[in-house]
Amino acid sequence: MSCCRELKHSSKKMSSSAIYILDVKGKVLISRNYRGDVDLGIIDKFMPLLMEKEEEGMLTPLLQTSECTFAYIKTNNLYIVSTTKKNANIALVFVFLYKIVEVMTEYFKELEEESIRDNFVVIYELLDELIDFGYPQTTDSKILQEYITQEGHKLEMQPRIPMAVTNAVSWRSEGIKYRKNEVFLDVIESVNLLANCNGNVLRSEIVGAIKMRVYLSGMPELRLGLNDKVLFESTGRGKSKSVELEDVKFHQCVRLSRFENDRTISFIPPDGEFELMSYRLNTHVKPLIWIESVIERHAHSRVEYMIKAKSQFKRRSTANNVEIIIPVPADADSPKFKTTIGSVKYTPEQNAITWSIKSFPGGKEYLMRAHFGLPSVECEEVDGKPPIQVKFEIPYFTTSGIQVSEVVIIKKKKDKNENVNLKNVKVTKKENIKKEGNKEEHNISSSNSEEFRVNEVNIQMISRNIYEQLFKKPSQKVDPQVIKSCQDSLLKHGIDYKKCSHLPDVQLKLPKLEGNDVVEHFYNIGEQQSAPYRELLKRLANCELPPMPKKWSKASGWTKYSGESQEPIPCPPDDALIFDVEVLMSAGKRPTLACAVSRDAWYGWISEPLANDDPHKVFDNINYDDLIPLETDGRKPVGDLNRHRIVVGHNVSFDRAKIKEQYWLERTGVRFMDTMSMHTCVSGVTSYQRTVLKAKNKEPHPSDDDWIEISSLNNLSEVHKLYCGTPVDKQTRDIFVDGTMQDVHDNFQELMQYCANDVVATHEVLKELLPLFLHRFPHPVTLAGMLELGSAYLPVNSNWLQYIDSAETIFEDLKLESRQVLSMKADEACSMLNDNSYKKDLWMWDQDWSVQNLKLKKINTKKKKVTKGKTVEENETVNLETKITVTKKSSNQNMAKPDLSKFEILNEEYIRCLEDIQNCSTEKNEEKIEELSKEFEHLFELGEHLPVKRPYLPGYPAWYRKLCTKPGKDPDWSPGANNITTSMQITPKLLRLSWEGYPLHYIKEEGWGFLVPYSRRRSDDAEEPLVPIDELLQACPLTFCKDSEFKPDMYSLPKEVDEDLGRRAYYARKKKDEQAAANQYHGLGVWSGIDVQGCCHFLRLPHKDGPKYKVGNPLAKDFLEMFSQNVLSAQGNEAEKVLTFGRMMSYWRNNRERILSQQVVWLPDEFLPLGLRGVWKKYGAIIPQVVVCGTLTRRASEPTWMTASNAHKERVGSELRAMVPPWLSHIYI
């Protein structure tokens, strides 16, 4: 038996001259020289030496030069390198390097290049404390974190070295206090087992560790008892079950001298989580879960697996979370599985299938069959057969039989030792066992308490005083047989219900219940809230509506119609109304007209623009005065605002948003009932059924006949047809959708009649639907909940405007910058047309480079003119401007420039001289005009040859023309490829993206992938456009098959050879060898079996959901991580820049229209709380259009606020929810 101490006790056996942290390219990120005996520049030899060894296939963790020895580890694309000149204990060097990684991971969560660059100062401090003059010092991260922090220290507060560093107990600080003392202990074992094909175990060993989590106050001492064989024999307990431990390694806190004397494990534990000890046992182990595998290969085209798993432990035990990992060939595809239990998943990135079984009882046997296709087959002897791995957990069971017999916590209290003995604890494999000092004593006091209550399986229930307040009637007794069955089932699954920890009881006086128990309490509360509104609904549904007016008044505001009379009123006074609002969509969101009806009268509301015959005008916002008053005259209340009133409508949340009083912070007694939500509860449809009902031109499936007659879509016409038998005519609505204010003026009576008809239809639906709804959902809380959800309210302030403006500005800036980058790339690619270099470009060779030519008209440039009997040839294109310039020049050519220096005072002669100077400058301008006219004269002549109908962008390739907009459509039009976005197929090619160094390529049927060359020449039947194979081979390696004599260049059948001679065998061998050649590529690409022009394989990009799916856009956010890993790369940083911009814009792009469409109404001061009046900020509200029962499960739905995500600093506009702050003296609960 050997016992190892913590690292620093053996530090004299190792020395490190310097520590380096390098990135994946070998660049030094940070370094520290400790001894000065090795030049820091020696690290420049590390990466070339590493690459050389890697190419030779002789890569080792040690690299030697004549100057020093490099010892390195790699983690997260970082190299941690130690250099030494001495004959150091290299095992300790590696332990220390891994300790560096562990400490830095504790500090920075993830050790990667970015965290190194962000924490240079802290890392230098850590390197100074971890090692001194090449020897390790303090390596405990918990101690280091006490005086090396990631926060800067103030000047007046100097950090002090923790007592733990200078104390004898260096692993634990003094003064630790916990309100609750706890100790958790885990025993984790793994079995390494080698068996031959006959099932005989050749070698087996058990590697285990005891891990603890200690949360104890002060400086406690613990004693751990194990069933150690040596200890049992020395104490006379040799017959007891014991284990002989080998290769034990203890934490530095364990007192080794005491362990060697009396085999007692005594220690003062570190605070928090640590590994107390590890051990190894060389013993014969029977596999707890035995795996038998049968692999059958069929004609090199498919492979079948039959896996049998058998548990070889006792039936009373159960293995949980069993995972059986079976390796499969790297080129396997088309997986099919069949299993008697559990589920099977194919993980192509691990070249394995995982058979997961949640619960595996002892003595059971299960089968799994798997079938794979094999596009290519390698020789079995090349890679061998990787082992099958089995992972599982068995509660209360260890393979070695090791047991923790006791954990004694010796805690000093009042100069006396208080021993708390936790005995009779059987340790689990990979399961937490909770040990608590003082816990056992606490449980005893709890069990004696009058308030203490547990159920039949020892689960603590609420305290007796609370139970008696909530449930006044005694509960029914459960059948003892059922209880016994539950208890046995818990024990069968390893859950000892007898060993449970309990919480202190609670003494609490609850408010008086509204009933005998909590069930009656909530029923009565719901009844109190909903009963008045339910009665109003019943009376409204069962009444006969008054006769509809024959002619509607066009006076602004409300008009009441009772019989033949009509009168203006401030608002309808009735307690129950059917209500409908109509909005002229082309004029904005302000209400245009509305209708309402009660049991006694009809009401009509007309907006000011409609009443005043105003012309059509578009309004971008809604003012408070533009809304419809329902409880006031616009300012003062009409009647009691707190009385119960109900307003019914179809999709009533839209109508509610047009009512003034709903924007008040203090609610009134008005509630809204939505007939559309009631219909959804009673006869709603699923998403599939909605699709079937909308497809009117298609015959429904016969299986749909069961529901298609008893359900409908949610619009008023379909709902009325379902419950009342006839649809509602909706043609007049088109005026509100597409018309103008003039159309409303011209059809006023017809539109009012249309609105009134909708009100009547809503009443008829309510009459039929309300009894069904109350029968289906009789509990009053359902109705009360719908009424409360229908009164949702979102307060906002001036920050809303700033939020919109800021998000729009940033979004447009990012959009413009992204477009400029892509437009510049498009212009660069377009220039390749000049010298046809696109044919050799690895990305643009397959694009449409066809151009449209500009055909010029043929016209006679000269004509003959007869003047006084003479024939004179006269040029048609006469430059009048040139003639005028020449004439003026001849008349002024002798004028000298006046001299102003002779004038001392201002007079008329001085003014004349100034005018002469201006004439001279005009003459110079005319000379320039003459020169320019001659230079561009040919363009004026060419203009006469242009055709009337000209092609768009002649001379530019077709792919470029698609990216440009035509002038005239947009007032802000500018030339160039301004139509380009990251979602276009041309964008990855313009950005020149590569996957693992291979250029990206797109095939419509396969999506995005990349080209891997396997031949140096194309096939003879290759068609245009041709793959630039020479340039591709310069940039990418040529794949080939090592184990075959396959030479792709030699595959061409001579024409003289008889076609019948071996053709089938030839092509069969060619296909097999091509697939074998493709297997030499070992990257992340997905084999598709597509050959491109006989020289390249097309491999698909890996999709996040598996190899069956195609990648539609390699610039999607899922591939952003691939850029940081250099798997997906580009020439320049434009691609990652564009991708980052796209990610930042994604939230606002997807939600912009919905957020901008929110209807914000700013409240006048008189309707604000007193503390908010007269301030510079504006305060208002948004009424979200919540459909209170938008789904069959009666869940509320709303497209913007109920789907708003959490704020993310990298996503523009994602702080939407923060724009709804509570107002003064209000809070959210």
Residues tagged active-site: 580
Please report, in angstroms and rounded to a whole number, the separation of the first and last CA atoms in the chain.
Answer: 62
Name residue 201's beta-bridge partners: 195
Summarize the chain as % helix, strand, coil (round to 5).
35, 25, 45
Rounded CA separation 1169/633 (Å): 20
SS3 of 1046-1090: the string is CCHHHCCCCCCCCCCCCHHHHHHHHHHHHHHHHCCCCCCCEEEEE
Coil, helix or strand at residue 925: helix
Phi, psi dihedral angles at 1056 (to 5 degrees): -75, -20
User: How far apart are the C-alpha atoms of 600 and 578, rounded to whole Å?
Assistant: 12
Judge residue 418's burial from the number of C-beta atoms within 10 Å of its C-beta, 0-12 exposed, 13-18 middle, 19 or more buried: middle
Contact criterion met (CB below 8 Å) for 399 and 189: yes
Contacts of 639 (CB under 8 A, 6+ apart): 573, 631
Question: Residue 496 corresponds to which amino acid?
Answer: D
User: Exposed, middle or buried, 1213 (CB in 10 Å: 0-12/13-18/19+)?
Assistant: buried
Pairing of strands 221-226, 565-569: unpaired
Contact 559, 603 (CB under 8 A): yes
On the question of a cis peptide bond just before residue 1028, with omega within 30 degrees of 0, the verdict is no
- Cα–Cα distance, 210 to 701 (Å, whole number): 63
- Both structure tokens of 866: 């007869």
Plot region of 1016 (φ>0 → left; ψ -120 to 50 → alpha; else → beta): alpha
Residue type at 1155 in one-letter notation: I
Query: Nearest to residue 128, comparing CAs of 38, 268, 30?
Result: 30
Cα distance between residue 1195 and residue 238, in whole Å: 67
Of the candidates 1131, 1127, 1130, 1107, the one whose C-alpha atom is nearest the C-alpha of residue 1119 is 1127
Determine how many CB atoms are found less than 10 A away from the CB of residue 461.
Answer: 11
Distances (CA, A) of 197 to 108, 323, 393, 604: 47, 22, 26, 91
| Whole-number Cα distances in Å, 98 to 7, 22, 119 | 11, 15, 19
Q: Crossing angle, helix 780-789 and helix 518-542, to 10 degrees?
A: 70
Euclidean distance between CA atoms 529 and 737, whole angstroms: 39
- CA separation, residue 1121 to residues 424, 812, 958, 1139 (Å): 51, 25, 34, 11
Residue 954: partners with Cβ closer than 8 Å, 6 or more residues away: 851, 852, 853, 854
Amino acid at 680: T
Give kind and range of the element (H or E) at residue 809. Answer: helix 799-830
Instruction: Give the C-alpha separation, 456 to 454, whole Å.
Output: 7
Helix (H) or strand (E) holding 646: strand 645-649
Nearby residues of 97 by Cβ (< 8 Å), 6 or more positions away: 71, 72, 73, 80, 82
Of the CA atoms within 13 Å of residue 530, those in its CB half-sphere come to 23
